[in-house]
Amino acid sequence: MEYTHLGRTGLLVSRLCLGTMNFGPQTDEPDSFAIMDAALDAGLTFFDTANVYGGWGDKPEAHAGWTEEIVGRWFALGGGRREKVVLATKVYNAMRDPLDGPNDAGGYSAYKIRRAVEASLRRLQTDHIELYQMHHIDPHAPWDEVWGAYEDLVSAGKVVYAGSSNFGARHICWAQEAARSRHFLGLVSEQHQYSLLKRQPELEVLPAALEEGLGVIPWSPLCGGLLGGHALDGNGGERSSSAIKNVSDAVRASIEGFHQLAAEAGVPPANLALAWTLANPAVTAPIIGPRTVAQLTALLAVPTITLGADTLAKLDELFPGPGTVGTGADPASRTASAPWAYSW
Radius of gyration of the chain (CA): 20
Structural contact between residues 43 and 12, judged by C-beta atoms closer than 8 angstroms: no
Q: Phi/psi at 24 (nearest 5 deg)? A: 105, -80
| CB contact at 8 A, 130 and 160 | yes
Helix (H) or strand (E) holding 46: strand 46-48
The 10 Å Cβ neighbour count of residue 81 is 16
Rounded to a whole number of angstroms, the distance between the first and last alpha carbons of the chain is: 34
- Are 204 and 168 within 8 A, CB to CB? yes
Residue from 3, 53, 111, 194 carrying the catalytic annotation: 53
Q: Are 325 and 202 in contact (CB under 8 A)?
A: yes
Distances (CA, A) of 152 to 58, 93, 114, 149, 158: 38, 21, 9, 5, 9
Q: Please, what is the Cα angle at 195 between 190 and 197, to 5 degrees?
A: 135
3-5 and 159-165 as β-strands: parallel, antiparallel, unpaired?
unpaired
Is the backbone peptide bond immediately before 98 cis, with ω within 30 degrees of 0? yes
User: Does 3 qualify as catalytic in the annotation?
Assistant: no
- How far is it, in rounded angstroms, from Cα 216 to Cα 193? 10
**252 φ, ψ (degrees, to nearest 5):** -60, -40
List residues with catalytic annotation.
Answer: 53
